[in-house]
Structure 1
């Protein structure tokens, strides 16, 4: 009789522990961090097709979006995109001679240096203004302009328009797979 009661208590304790563990795992997975797989070549050479990353949802909620953050957002009902924030609310934006101009000032993009050096001819990013793609001179409040690092092969704000900040799931800068590329990215 004593043995059965002891086994029952042990079973209840293990059951509670498992329920708590699964609850915490779900909380972390859906509210704080979530994995994402890079699909395509639009962020090359920074990110490769098939890289697995961790999307930080909580840090995004606490902090503000910063220029050059890599963010994940809902592109449509079935697809999330991963791109780099180039323009913030209130910015005028242009590219001229492969240089980013924000509010008339040239801003360096060091994450593109290696890729630019490998180009045989032409520029990585074509000349354009914000108005060319959005018919606006300034990015309105609540929106950002995003681009893939592979400027010649990226579906980004040049095609899909400005991205509502409310559609952004979180930011990411940690690759956890494959092991040889594991670490922080810029």
Structure 2
């Protein structure tokens, strides 16, 4: 009788431990599934490489890219996007012109449909170059119309960027998402400004 009682007591003592362990395992599995869904379907980290987006983004800065926004709507002018430039390489650039619009780059002036863009995100760089007595951008682009289903993108470092002036118009299918947040370095942490 005493043996039966002690076996029953051991089982009762192990049961809460087993239950708690199972609850922890379930919680960890759910957390892992959420991380997977968020990481692969909604947001993705991106590391800036190269000088093409200076002075707004620098090499080794880490960004959060919103991968779902463009399934809800199309990219808009001024937004900073990440896209597949090649099978192995993703680029980060700024949307300048949209489908059906004409685009022309003449020195530091960018024209969309014949109207000069007010690029506030480049104001300090343009002013600095003007003070130093030279143009900020030394690469022009003859006027062309952006084909349907594509966008025209440029790096903020206009003279040192491989962008639509070189690689052509970017198809919507190439776009990974919009850069929404800088999370490294901590001193620069914050939302990405588009205009």
Q: Give a deviation string over 1:83-107, Cα, whole Å, max 9, x none.
A: 0011110011112342111111112
Cα offset for 1:128? 2.4
Q: Give a deviation string over 1:116-148, Cα, whole Å, max 9, x none.
A: 122234322333224xxxxxx311111111110
- Given that 2:154 and 2:163 are in contact with CA atoms closer than 8 Å, whether structure 1 keeps it comes out as yes
Q: Structure 2: how far apart are the matches of 1:56 and 1:4?
A: 46
Could you say which structure has the larger radius of gyration? 2
- Given that 2:141 and 2:165 are in contact with CA atoms closer than 8 Å, whether structure 1 keeps it comes out as no
- 1:122 pairs with 118, 134, 144, which one? 134
- 1:171 pairs with 144, 158, 178, which one? 178
Q: Structure 2: how far apart are the matches of 1:5 and 1:127?
A: 74
- Given that 2:107 and 2:136 are in contact with CA atoms closer than 8 Å, whether structure 1 keeps it comes out as no
Q: Structure 1: how far apart are the matches of 2:77 and 2:142?
A: 17
Q: Mind listing any 5+ residue stretches in structure 2 that lack a counterpart?
A: 1-10
- 1:157 pairs with 158, 161, 164, which one? 164
- C-alpha RMSD of the superposition: 1.3
Aligned to 1:141: 148
TM-score (norm. length: structure 2):
0.88
TM-score (norm. length: structure 1):
0.92
Moved more, 88-97 or 78-87: 88-97
Cα offset for 1:183? 1.0
Task: Indicate whether 1:56 and 2:66 are aligned.
Answer: yes
Aligned to 2:117: 107
SS at match of 2:145: coil
Q: Structure 2: how far apart are the matches of 1:78 and 1:113?
A: 33
Moved more, 167-176 or 89-98: 89-98
SS at match of 2:178: strand
Q: Mind listing any 5+ residue stretches in structure 1 that lack a counterpart?
A: 131-136
Count residues in correspondence.
180
Aligned to 1:133: none
- Given that 2:103 and 2:145 are in contact with CA atoms closer than 8 Å, whether structure 1 keeps it comes out as yes
Superposition misfits of 4+ residues, deviation over 6 angstroms: none
SS at match of 1:176: strand
- Given that 2:154 and 2:161 are in contact with CA atoms closer than 8 Å, whether structure 1 keeps it comes out as yes
